[in-house]
Structure formats: structure tokens, C-alpha cells
């Protein structure tokens, strides 16, 4: 006994298309810029106010915005400063040994 669909289910096709688009967009977002929350939403780790988004499309739109780009400059600078801080302390540690 098999089940046949009588007509095309547009909502199913729309959901599959949405999922494919989300997967493609998710590959373009670096892991250190966004985090998946326990409730399935996404948050931006670059911006200081940590906005929460329902889906990947909204996050990708946010990433093109002025506030995100300004926050990204500070984010990259902080990463660079932390790396220099760690390197400096490692050099001091190994010199004292």
C-alpha cells in the first residue's frame, strides 16, 4: 500500500527552499561572529548589545549594517590585543625559566 500525493504541497516546497537558503547563508558566517542559542535563535557576538535573531536571513542582513561593521572593527582589534597580551606574558614566562 503506498501513499500518493494528489497535488503539490507548496508549503513543503517552500520550507525545503528556505532550509537550503539558510544552509547556504550559514556557511558564509564565521563561527566566532555568531552563536546558536539553546532555543534555536542566533546571537551576534561582534556587537556589544548582542542582538538576537530568529533565523540566518536576519543575521546576514544585520551583518551588512553600519553598527555591526563598526563593532567588527573593535572586535578584531580586541582579538589582536588579546593575542599580543598572551604572547607578551608567554615571553616573560619563558625568560624567567
Q: Which 3-state string (H, E, C) describes 27-57?
A: HHCCCCCEEECCCCCEEECCCCCCCEECCHH
Quote the pLDDT of residue 3. 58
Q: Could you tell me which residues come within 8 angstroms of residue 41 by beta carbon, excluding any fewer than 6 positions away?
A: 52, 53, 54
What cell numbers appear for 27 in the block? 556557511
Q: Which domain holds residue 22?
A: 11-96
Asked, for residue 3, whether it belongs to a domain, the answer is: no
Residue 5 counted as domain residue: no
Is 61 within the bounds of a domain? Answer: yes
The predicted structure's pLDDT at residue 74: 84
Considering the domain boundaries, does residue 60 fall inside one? yes
Phi, psi values for residue 14, rounded to 5°: -65, -40
Give me the pLDDT at residue 97, please.
62
> Would residue 82 count as lying in a domain?
yes
Query: CA–CA separation, 90 vs 56, rounded Å?
Result: 39
* pLDDT for res 53: 92
pTM, entire model: 0.58
Work out the average pLDDT over 67-85.
83
18 in any annotated domain: yes
Instruction: Decide if 1 is inside a domain.
Output: no
Asked if residue 46 belongs to a domain, the reply is yes
Structural domain count of the chain? 1
Q: What is the pLDDT of residues 14-49, one digit of tens each?
A: 777 777 776 776 677 888 888 888 888 889 988 888
pLDDT-based confidence at residue 52 (cuts at 50, 70, 90): very high
Amino acid at each position: 500500500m503506498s501513499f500518493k500525493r494528489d497535488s503539490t504541497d507548496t508549503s513543503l516546497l517552500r520550507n525545503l527552499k528556505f532550509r537550503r537558503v539558510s544552509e547556504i547563508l550559514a556557511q558564509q558566517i564565521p563561527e566566532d561572529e555568531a552563536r546558536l542559542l539553546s532555543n534555536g535563535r542566533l546571537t551576534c557576538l561582534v556587537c556589544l548589545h548582542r542582538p538576537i535573531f530568529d533565523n540566518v536571513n536576519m543575521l546576514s542582513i544585520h551583518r551588512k549594517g553600519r553598527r555591526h561593521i563598526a563593532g567588527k572593527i573593535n572586535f578584531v582589534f580586541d582579538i589582536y590585543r588579546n593575542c599580543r597580551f598572551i604572547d607578551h606574558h608567554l615571553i616573560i614566562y619563558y625568560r624567567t625559566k
